[in-house]
Structure 1
Amino acid sequence: MAARAVAADQRGLTLIELMITIAIGTTLAMMALPMYSTWIASQQVRTAAESVYEGIRVAQTEAVRRNNPVAFELAPATGWTVKLVSDDSVLRETKLIEGSPNVEVTVAPANATTVIFDGLGRALDDAQSPLAARITIDVKTKTGFTDARAQRVIIDTAAATGVGIRSCDPQLPTGDPRACPA
């Protein structure tokens, strides 16, 4: 009789309860995996776009600080470099592939991969003439992950304040403050 009293007081999970818990946990993890993959892809896109934006701002700030032309050079397949125009000394360099291996970067116009900032922070082209057009840098995932959000970095010399450098989301509707200008 004493043995039955001890057995009635035992607590814990049976093997069946444990197996059901593991099955439910595995099912929930399998359902969440695609959303997690899309989230990671979106974060890689955002990281790459913020890196490009930061590089452009660093180049502009260094040009003003040094009162000398500083170039921002984008290599869409690998990364970007900020360097002095006078002696080509590298001030900063970043590899996009390190933090964002599944990201593709495109530039429009296609030959606008170098922007030079003068001592006043104005954007110039390779020939050190004022930029004639807006430069658009699109950052998106390479393949798959169709739900991942793309990002865009814009260098606009038609901005009322001089050079407008902006990061935006091209998928948002006009009127949203995070949307890209038309």
Structure 2
Amino acid sequence: MDVQLMIPARSAQHGFTLIELMIVVALLAIISAFALPAFQTFIASNRLTSEANELLAGLNLARSEAVRTQCSARLCRATFASDGAASCVNTNDRQPWEGWVVLVGITTATGACDSEMRLRTQMAPSNLNIISDAQLAASGNSIVFRPDGLARPLAAPTALQNAQIDICDSSGTLTSNNVRRVTLRSGTRTAVERASDTTCGTAAAAEEAEATEEGA
């Protein structure tokens, strides 16, 4: 009887050659070169929008608390102590903000609003400049809401307040639409708009600082 040896067939094994791997790596590098800037732009744009929405939420908080407590509430440019405590900056200039704080008066047993309580604080993120317009700077960088829900400046309690705050990306990632402009009109209407600023708001602040030094 013939005996046939049963030899298993070798399975075909396929792999990548060095040239194929180099081609794949080169393609990935090309795709990354196009995708990375777009991703960085997307992240920077989202950071701007998020910060603008936070500021808008702070304005809405100040308005609602003024109505609820029947005491004036305000959002103001803030300076931060070493322990992180925030307080309003009272200087009338257009220097970049360290951040902002929302304060509301405390209603006492006598019904007077003779002191303020911090409701919310927000430090300015890195690579973002927050700059007020000249009108808001002249009002002490404070937006004050009265118990009727309307914003009126501290120095002119009968006039409706208008204000503009620019939040600008200073990293250079965005070549256009690098500003989110938070506006207040007629003491009540708030909005966020897109804008562009090649100096990222630093030119106005620098000019103002130079004028202050010359006048000193």
Q: TM-score, length-normalised on structure 2?
A: 0.66
8 Å CA contact 1:141, 1:148 repeated in 2: no
Task: Tell me if 1:129 matches 2:129.
Answer: no
For 1:155, the equivalent position in structure 2 comes to 184
8 Å CA contact 2:152, 2:159 repeated in 1: yes
For 2:101, the equivalent position in structure 1 comes to 81
Aligned pairs (5 A) from 1:99-178: 101-108=126-133, 109=135, 110-112=137-139, 113-127=141-155, 129-132=157-160, 134-145=162-173, 146-157=175-186, 163-170=188-195
Q: Which string of whole-angstrom CA distances, capped at 9 and with x for unpartnered residues, describes residues 5-41 of structure 1?
A: 526x213433332232122112211222222222222
Distance (whole Å) between structure 1 residues aligned to residue 184 and residue 122 of structure 2: 19
Q: Could you tell me how far 1:44 is from its partner in structure 2? A: 1.8
Distance (whole Å) between structure 2 residues aligned to residue 42 and residue 25 of structure 1: 25
8 Å CA contact 2:124, 2:130 repeated in 1: no
Whichever residue aligns with residue 6 of structure 1, its letter is R
For 1:47, the equivalent position in structure 2 comes to 50
8 Å CA contact 1:41, 1:102 repeated in 2: no
SS class of match (2:52): helix
- Residue number among 3, 6, 9 corresponding to 2:10 in the alignment: 6
- Residue number among 71, 76, 93 corresponding to 2:74 in the alignment: 71
8 Å CA contact 2:180, 2:195 repeated in 1: yes
Q: Could you tell me how far 1:135 is from its partner in structure 2? A: 0.8
For 1:175, the equivalent position in structure 2 comes to none
SS class of match (1:115): strand
Unaligned runs of 5+ in 2: 1-6, 79-95, 106-113, 197-216
Across the aligned residues of Structure 1 and Structure 2, the Cα RMSD in angstroms comes to 2.3
8 Å CA contact 1:38, 1:148 repeated in 2: no
8 Å CA contact 2:150, 2:160 repeated in 1: no
SS class of match (2:130): strand
For 1:180, the equivalent position in structure 2 comes to none
8 Å CA contact 2:62, 2:74 repeated in 1: yes
8 Å CA contact 2:143, 2:161 repeated in 1: no
Distance (whole Å) between structure 1 residues aligned to residue 103 and residue 156 of structure 2: 15
Q: Could you tell me how far 1:126 is from its partner in structure 2? A: 2.2
| Runs of 4+ off more than 6 Å | none
Q: TM-score, length-normalised on structure 1?
A: 0.77
8 Å CA contact 2:104, 2:118 repeated in 1: yes
Whichever residue aligns with residue 104 of structure 1, its letter is N
Greater shift in the superposed pair: 147-156 or 52-61: 147-156
Q: Could you tell me how far 1:143 is from its partner in structure 2? A: 4.6
Q: Could you tell me how far 1:78 is from its partner in structure 2? A: 1.7
SS class of match (1:137): strand
